[in-house]
Amino acid sequence: MLTALYVPANRPDRFAKAVASGPDLVVFDLEDAVPVDDKADARGWAIAWIAAFTGRTSVEVRVNAPGTPWIEDDLAALAAVPDARVRLPKVESADDVRRVLDQVPSAKITALIESPLGLERAFEIATADPRVVAVALGEADLSSSLGVDGPEGLAWARGRLVSASRAAGLGAPMLSVYPFVNDEEGLRRTCLEGRALGFVGRSAIHPRQLPAIVESFTPSATQVADAAALIAAVEKAGVAEGGVIVLPDGRMVDPAMLGRAREIIDLMSKIDL
Instruction: Place 230 in a pLDDT band, splitting at 50, 70 and 90.
Output: confident
Examine the domain organization and report whether 91 and 155 are in the same domain: yes
Q: Is the pLDDT of residue 192 over 90?
A: yes
- Taking the C-alpha atoms of residue 230 and residue 233, their distance in angstroms, rounded to an integer, is 5
Give me the mean pLDDT over the 201-208 stretch.
97
> Helix and strand tally (H, E) in the chain?
12, 9
Among 190, 180, 138, residue whose Cα is nearest residue 161: 138
Examine the domain organization and report whether 131 and 235 are in the same domain: no
Answer whether 7's CB lies under 8 Å from 28's CB: yes
Question: Structural domain of residue 128, as residue ranges?
Answer: 3-217
In sequence order, what are the residues at sequence separation of 6 or more whose Cβ sits closer than 8 angstroms to the Cβ of residue 263?
Answer: none
Could you give the C-alpha distances from 66 to 70, 204, 259, in angstroms and in order? Answer: 9, 23, 37
Could you give the C-alpha distances from 199 to 83, 162, 229, in angstroms and in order? Answer: 26, 7, 24
- The larger pLDDT score, comparing residue 256 to residue 221, is at 221
**Which of the 8 DSSP states describes residue 175?**
B
Examine the domain organization and report whether 9 and 69 are in the same domain: yes
Examine the domain organization and report whether 128 and 241 are in the same domain: no
**Which of the 8 DSSP states describes residue 174?**
P
- The larger pLDDT score, comparing residue 135 to residue 249, is at 135
Please work out, in degrees rounded to the nearest 5, the angle formed at the alpha carbon of residue 75 by the alpha carbons of 69 and 76: 100
pTM of structure? 0.89
Q: Express each pLDDT in 215-225 by its tens digit.
A: 999 988 888 88
Alpha-carbon torsion (256, 197, 183, 115), positive or negative: positive
Q: Is the pLDDT of residue 242 over 90?
A: no
- The larger pLDDT score, comparing residue 231 to residue 242, is at 231
Q: Which pLDDT value is given to residue 272?
A: 65
Q: Is the pLDDT of residue 44 over 90?
A: yes
Examine the domain organization and report whether 229 and 126 are in the same domain: no
Question: Could you report how far apart the first and last alpha carbons of the chain are, in Å?
Answer: 13
**Which of the 8 DSSP states describes residue 249?**
T
The last residue of one of the domains, among 178, 199, 217, is 217
Q: How many domains does the chain have?
A: 2
The last residue of one of the domains, among 172, 191, 217, is 217
Answer whether 39's CB lies under 8 Å from 29's CB: no
Examine the domain organization and report whether 101 and 180 are in the same domain: yes
What percent helix, strand, coil does the chain show, rounded to 5? 50, 15, 35
Examine the domain organization and report whether 103 and 153 are in the same domain: yes
Give me the mean pLDDT over the 242-251 stretch.
68
Q: Which pLDDT value is given to residue 241?
A: 59
The CATH number of residue 69's host domain is 3.20.20.60
Instruction: Place 240 in a pLDDT band, splitting at 50, 70 and 90.
Output: low
In sequence order, what are the residues at sequence separation of 6 or more whose Cβ sits closer than 8 angstroms to the Cβ of residue 254?
Answer: 239, 242, 243, 244, 245
* Percent of the residues in the chain that have a pLDDT greater than 90, as a whole number: 75
Examine the domain organization and report whether 121 and 229 are in the same domain: no
- Taking the C-alpha atoms of residue 40 and residue 4, their distance in angstroms, rounded to an integer, is 24
Q: Which pLDDT value is given to residue 257?
A: 77
For strands 252-253 and 245-246, give the pairing. Answer: antiparallel
Q: Express each pLDDT in 56-94 by its tens digit.
A: 889 999 999 999 999 999 999 999 998 999 999 999 999
Answer whether 156's CB lies under 8 Å from 197's CB: no
The last residue of one of the domains, among 217, 236, 257, is 217
Examine the domain organization and report whether 195 and 69 are in the same domain: yes
Q: Which pLDDT value is given to residue 260?
A: 83
Examine the domain organization and report whether 206 and 231 are in the same domain: no
Q: Express each pLDDT in 88-125 by its tens digit.
A: 999 999 999 999 999 999 999 999 999 999 999 999 99
Q: Express each pLDDT in 123-143 by its tens digit.
A: 999 999 999 999 999 999 999
Burial (Cβ within 10 Å: 0-12, 13-18, ≥19) of residue 189: middle
Examine the domain organization and report whether 262 and 199 are in the same domain: no
Q: Is the pLDDT of residue 273 over 60?
A: no
Examine the domain organization and report whether 197 and 237 are in the same domain: no
